[in-house]
Amino acid sequence: MALLEVVDVRKRFGGLQAVAGVSLDVAADEVVGLIGPNGAGKTTLFHLISGFLPPDGGDVRFGGASTRGLKPHQVCRRGLARTFQIVKPFQALTVLENVRVGALARSGGFRAATRKAREVLALVGLEDRADRPARGLTLADRKRLELARALATEPRLLLLDEVMAGLTPAETERIIDLCRAINARGIAILLIEHVMRAVMALSHRVVVVDQGRVIASGPPAAIANDARVVEAYLGEAYGSGPEDRHVDA
Amino acid sequence: MDATLIAQGLVSGVLFGGVYSLMAVGLTLIFGVMRVVNFAHGDMMVWGMYLAWLLATRLGVDPTLGFTVCAAGLFVLGVLVQRGLVDRIPDAPHEMQILLLLGVGLVLENVALVAFGPDPQRVRSSLGRATLWIGPVFVDMARLAAFAVALTLTGALWLFLRRTDLGRTMRATADNPYGALVVGTDVRRVGATAFGIGAACVGAAGALVSPILPFSPSSGLSASVASFNIVIIGGMGSLPGAFAGGLLVSVAESLGAVFLSPSMKELVSFGLLIVILLFRPAGLFGRRP
Amino acid sequence: MSVGALWLASGTVLALLALPAVLGSYAVTVCIFIFFYGYLGQAWNILGGYGGQLSAGHAAFVGVGAYATTLLSMHWGLSPWIGMLVGATLAAGLGAVIGGLGFRFGLRGFYFVLLTVAFAEVCRIVTLNTDAMGGALGLYITFTGNPWHLQFQDNRVYYYLALGLMLLATGVVALVERSRLGAYLLAIREDEDAAEALGVDTFRYKLGAIVLSAFLTGLGGAFYANYLFSLQPNAVFGIPLSVDIIIRPVVGGAGTLLGPLLGSLILSPLAEVARIYFTRPGWTGLHLVIYGVLLVGVVLFLPQGAYPHLRRAWARWRPGA
């Protein structure tokens, strides 16, 4: 039984069927990449999984139990954390205070949560900026902060929404390493990503979505060569250069 | 219950609804174009009323004509508020905008209080107490005039938004502020004009109401509440919604006055606002802000 | 809190305790207003400053507390010392209703502001029209000077009461600041969706904030009733009082511990000056004009309030900082 089971989930907005029956699984130690053209319904899927939107049909099961009707904070408490495509730091709070909010989801007391927050900051490499207000951070650091906050809730599964977007190649490389480290600690990851290098480097499996449907699913190498995927992307599958065609193991 | 009374209530309600609609249209325009909730709306209306009063008592100008001056004056005020105040805090959280306009409203209301005193005033319209009888129901000429002018102004605004370049630009900005910026719209100018027009609407409405109801500086709050009631029912940012809502709320209040005592009327107004807030924040026509 | 700050705080409290010995009766009265409105502002601060939920109807809680305490005392002889707890609980109940409905239906921003104003006005109109509560004339409390009735001959006892209330509220806020409630409220204020995604039950904590805020404010209502001896619906439920409550934390610094106190320190004397020099008939409302201008000014130039700016200026000025 997979950690996350999305079963034939559907969502409609007025005349638009944003998600038209998507099913996918994420096992407890996997990294699954979720790719697809813009408007394919990926972020909507995240909203459905994390409880921000109720599905019109289908079910989402986490840890064997359905999450239907749960509010986002309850989903988080079950062990499913998420980041947002446009990062949402608590601007007026310091980096530490930001992460502490996440840590309070688990840790018993205020002091324990503060300690936990420091640990997480050390893990992501923000410990020397702990007392800076979040609003002054660079984009890369804000992405890191977003990740750290979610991590502090001690999730079993992390939903990452385009966490590499807008980063330089060097910064991207660092985040890829961080994601590897997180996964190595036993946390499953489902990531939406457009930066193909990252998807191919991190994912054990890749799921391709287009117009609200899954059109392909499999190991990264197979997906990269799948005609349907190439067609859906019309060439976008190859990131920023021909060298990305080679898949890193 | 007397059928005549109810019919009377209906007629009076519809006629007064023109003014309500005008008020609401002003508020919804400001919100639609600039995403600004004008908490000082009712207090601006009060100034429309007092300007009309000044014109009538000092210069003998009837409000049915004087509304033009009130509209012009409030237009200037609206532009000043938008350009001088709201524009300075474009990226501030909504709470700041609310406090800003609350402050403006406080200043407007209390300057009026200091200048004119707390006692209720009324403007003597040249139409006096003339009434027109249609069967068992009478039509107050002042109300009829107010209705006619309000309707004309709303119609003119509608044409402005539909037919003129500036009007179209305003609608475009309301629909997609970012897109408007991208195509080179002077959003600040459009915003100031929108606020100006919105204030002008409510200033004119104030002038038109001045011979019909007694008013004082504290009338601002109930005017604001009425405006919010209408706009929330009709949909924030929707002009037809504001128009329809104005008639609806006015008729409801008018019928309410037939069945309830005057003090309860205010209570119903606020009670209605609470219910509307809880159950219909998206309104009949509009979008969720 | 640093050792230096602790010394400063203790010193200030001691100084405040000793102050009545050197001040004249009028100065004591001004201090009472500073402390009392600082107290109300601090109570509001929990919901509005830390929680970020603007309430423009907090007068409702003052009114409920004031009327409950007074009616219980008048009709059942219940001592206001106990009555104030009843009043505060009733105010908290009203807060639960407003919050329960408002937050349940997802009202935020200006919708929530409107809701609070609507509730306050409903309370005002109902009280105005209910003869059992004194109607438009209001309630008048006979002065007995009996401590059991929460009345004192000596102004200075009111001074200590008001000071005590202010310290109580400040203490509560200080505790909140260092607790899960505080951290969660700030998160909710900054970004409610992000907070939800991090496991914060935003409904529960917002509700908690409004109930706590309302309880404390209701407690203040009892003081109000037994210090001013007259309750009138328009005064005690009206918007001017709500403005009086909000303006101090906003000017002083909403969401900070000392903001409401600083704001009260600046504004209460200002209001008194306006009252003294401009109480000709027809000039009523001038202090509200000043409030309005200040509100606009603060939003434009000092959006975080006076306190954070002073703190930064102080930090820059201090050598070796």
- Is A81 within 8 Å of C200 when comparing Cβ atoms? no
The answer to whether the beta carbons of residues A9 and A58 sit under 8 Å apart is: yes
| Residue A51: partners with Cβ closer than 8 Å, 6 or more residues away | A67, A70, A71, A72, A74, A75
Gap from C192 CA to chain A (nearest CA, Å): 10
pLDDT tens-digit map of A96-122: 999 999 999 987 789 999 999 999 999
Q: Which residue of A has its CA nearest to C256?
A: A92
Cβ neighbours of A113 in C, within 8 Å: 180, 183
Q: What secondary structure does DSSP assign to A189-238, as a single string?
A: EEEE-S-HHHHHHH-SEEEEEETTEEEEEE-HHHHHT-HHHHHHHTTGGG
If you measure CA to CA, which chain B residue comes closest to C305? B96
- Whether A143 and A104 have beta carbons less than 8 Å apart is answered as no
Q: How many CB atoms lie within 10 A of CB C277?
A: 10
Nearest CB partner across the interface for C286, out of B88, B114, B118: B114
d(CA A94, CA A114): 12
Contact B169, B177 (CB under 8 A): no
Give CA separation, C185 vs B202, B236, C165, C172, C208, in Å. 38, 29, 23, 14, 10
Residue-wise pLDDT tens digits, C35-84: 999 999 999 999 999 999 999 999 999 999 999 999 999 899 888 899 99
- What distances in angstroms separate CA B269 from CA B98, B272, C63, C321, one per listed residue? 22, 5, 21, 56
**Contact (CB<8Å) B267/C118:** no
| B103-154 pLDDT tens trace | 999 999 999 988 888 888 888 877 666 777 877 788 888 888 889 999 999 9
Chain C partners of B279 at a C-beta cutoff of 8 Å? Answer: 105
* Shortest Cα–Cα distance, A102 to chain C (Å): 5
End-to-end CA distance of chain C: 17
> What is the distance between the terminal CA atoms of chain A, rounded to a whole angstrom?
26
Best mutation target among A95, A101, A147, A151 (most C Cβ atoms within 10 Å) is A101
- Restricting to C residues 225-254, those with a Cβ less than 8 Å away from any Cβ of B are 239, 243, 246, 250
- What number of other Cβ atoms are within 10 A of residue C193's Cβ? 13
pLDDT at A238 over 60: no
Give B106's contacts in chain C (Cβ within 8 Å). 243, 288-289, 291-292, 295
How high is the pLDDT of residue A208?
Answer: 92
Q: Do C199 and A77 touch (CB under 8 A)?
A: yes
The SS3 assignment for C293 reads helix
| C contact residues 224-243, partner A, Cβ 8 Å cutoff | none
Q: Write down which chains contact chain A via at least 3 CB pairs under 8 A.
A: C
Which long-range contacts does C306-310 make (Cβ < 8 Å, 24+ apart)? Answer: C306/C251, C306/C252, C306/C253, C306/C259, C306/C262, C306/C263, C306/C266, C307/C252, C307/C253, C307/C256, C307/C258, C307/C259, C307/C262, C308/C253, C308/C256, C310/C262
Tell me the two tokens of residue A133: 């207000």
Six token digits for residue B69: 């001056």
User: Average pLDDT over chain C, rounded to whole?
Assistant: 90
Where do runs of H (alpha helix) occur along C58-140? Answer: 59-76, 80-104, 109-128
Can you name the residues that pair with A80 across neighbouring β-strands?
Answer: A157
Contacts of A99 in chain C (CB under 8 A): none
Which residues on chain A place their C-beta less than 8 Å from a C-beta of chain C?
Answer: 50, 52, 71-74, 76-77, 81-82, 84, 88-93, 97, 100-102, 104-105, 110, 113, 149-150, 152-153
Q: Which of A90, A91, A105 sits opposite C199 (nearest CB)?
A: A105
| Angstrom distance (rounded) from CA A40 to CA A114 | 39
Is residue B281 predicted with pLDDT exceeding 90?
Answer: no
Res B128: pLDDT: 65
Instruction: Round to whole Å and give the CA distance between A71 and A85.
Output: 20
- What is the rounded distance in angstroms from the CA atom of residue A110 to the CA atom of residue A118? 13
Mean pLDDT of C263-287: 79
In sequence order, what DSSP letters do the residues of B111-152 get, joined into one string?
A: HHHHHH-SS-B----TTTT-EEEETTEEEEHHHHHHHHHHHH
Tell whether C147 is within 8 A of chain B (Cβ).
no
Residue of C94, C111, C283, C286 to mutate, interface with B, max B Cβ within 10 Å: C111
Of A90, A100, A104, the CB nearest to C191: A90
More confident residue, B25 or C320: B25
pLDDT for C135 beyond 90: no
Question: Angle at which helices B165-175 and B3-34 pack, to 10 degrees?
Answer: 80
Output B253 or B57, whichever has higher pLDDT.
B57
Give, rounded to a whole angstrom, the gap between the first and last alpha carbons of chain B: 42
**How many residues belong to chain B?**
289
Helix C155-177 crosses helix C25-45 at what angle (to 10 degrees)? 20
Which of C119, C127, C250, C300 to mutate to test binding with chain B, by most B CBs within 10 Å of its CB?
C300
Q: Which residues contact A122 (CB under 8 A, 6 or more apart)?
A: none
What secondary structure, in 3-state letters, does B52-71 show? HHHHHHHHCCCHHHHHHHHH
SS3 A181: helix
Q: With contact defined as beta carbons under 8 Å apart, do B285 and B235 qualify?
A: yes
CB contact under 8 A, B100 and C283: no
- What order of strands is seen across the sheet that includes strand A4-13? A16-26, A4-13, A57-62, A65-66
B234, amino acid identity = G
C300/B111 CB distance under 8 A: no
- Tell me the residue ranges of DSSP E strands in chain B: 131-134, 137-140
Number of other residues whose CB lies within 10 A of the CB of residue A54: 11
Chain C: residue whose CA lies nearest to B280:
C105
Residue B15: enclosing H or E segment and its boundaries? helix B3-34
pLDDT per residue as tens digits for the range B158-214:
899 989 988 888 888 888 877 888 888 888 889 999 999 999 999 999 999 998 889
Given an 8 Å threshold on Cβ–Cβ distance, is C193 in contact with A88? yes
CA distance A132 to chain C (A): 14
In this structure, are residues B246 and B21 in contact, taking their beta carbons and an 8 Å threshold?
A: yes
- Rounded Cα–Cα distance for residues C77 and C299 (Å): 46
Q: Which pLDDT tens digit goes with each residue over A55-104?
A: 999 999 999 999 999 999 999 999 999 999 999 999 999 999 999 999 99
Q: Which of C50, C190, C202 is the mutation pick for testing A, counting most A CBs within 10 A?
A: C190
Chains that touch B (3 or more CB pairs under 8 A): C
Q: Which among C179, C183, C201 has the least Cβ separation from residue A101? A: C183
With CB atoms and an 8 Å threshold, state whether C288 touches B103: no
Which residues touch C301 (CB under 8 Å, ≥6 apart)? none
> B140 vs B7, B9, C56, CA distance in Å?
14, 12, 38
How much is the ipTM here?
0.88
Least Cα distance to C155 among C242, C245, C36 occurs for: C36
Of residues B110 and B267, more confidence is placed in B110
Nearest to A105 among C179, C190, C198 (CB): C198
Q: Please give, rounded to a whole number of angstroms, the shortest distance from the CA of B209 to a CA of chain C.
A: 23
Provide the pLDDT for residue C321: 46
pLDDT of B178 reads 79
Number of A to C CB contacts under 8 A, please give it: 80
The whole-angstrom distance between C229's CA and the closest CA on chain B is 25
CB contact under 8 A, B221 and C239: yes
Q: Cβ contacts of residue C143 below 8 Å, gap of 6+?
A: C151, C229
Quick one: angle between helices C239-252 and C259-277, nearest 10? 130
Other C-beta atoms closer than 10 Å to the C-beta of C149 total 18
- Please tell me the predicted confidence (pLDDT) of residue A245: 45
Residue A246 is predicted with a pLDDT of 43
Asked if C196 and A77 come within 8 Å (Cβ–Cβ), the reply is no
B99·C121 Cβ contact <8 A:
no
Contact C80, C73 (CB under 8 A): yes
C192–A contact, CB cutoff 8 A:
no
User: A90, C180: Cβ pair inside 8 Å?
Assistant: no
Q: Please list, in sequence order, all residues whose beta carbon lies within 8 angstroms of the beta carbon of residue C273, skipping any fewer than 6 positions away.
A: none
CB B39 within 8 A of CB B221: no
> Is C198 in CB contact (< 8 Å) with chain A?
yes
- Give the burial class of C16: count Cβ atoms within 10 A of its Cβ; 0-12 exposed, 13-18 middle, 19 or more buried: middle
CB distance A58 to A8 below 8 Å: yes
Closest chain C C-alpha to B131 CA, distance in angstroms: 33
Phi, psi of B199 (to 5 degrees): -70, -40
Helix (H) or strand (E) holding C139: strand C139-140
Average pLDDT over residues B246-269: 80
pLDDT given at position C244: 92
- Residue C150 backbone zone (phi > 0: left; psi -120 to 50: alpha; other: beta): left
Flag whether pLDDT at B76 surpasses 90: yes
Mutant choice from C121, C245, C250 vs B, greatest count of B C-beta within 10 A: C121
pLDDT at C320: 54
Q: What is the DSSP letter of B97?
A: H
C59-76 vs C202-228: helix axis angle to the nearest 10? 50
Looking only at the bridges linking them, the beta strands covering A80-82 and A157-161 are: parallel
Angle at A136 between CA A134 and CA A141, to 5 degrees: 70
| Structural tokens at position A159 | 């939903």
- Sign, CA dihedral A126-A128-A129-A131, equals positive
**For residue A243, pLDDT beyond 70:** no
Residue A101 contacts residue A90 (beta carbons within 8 Å): yes
Q: Are C64 and C221 in contact (CB under 8 A)?
A: yes
Residue in C118, C250, C295 closest to B270 by CB: C118
Instruction: Please give the pLDDT value at position C85.
Output: 96
Percentage of chain A beyond pLDDT 90 is 76
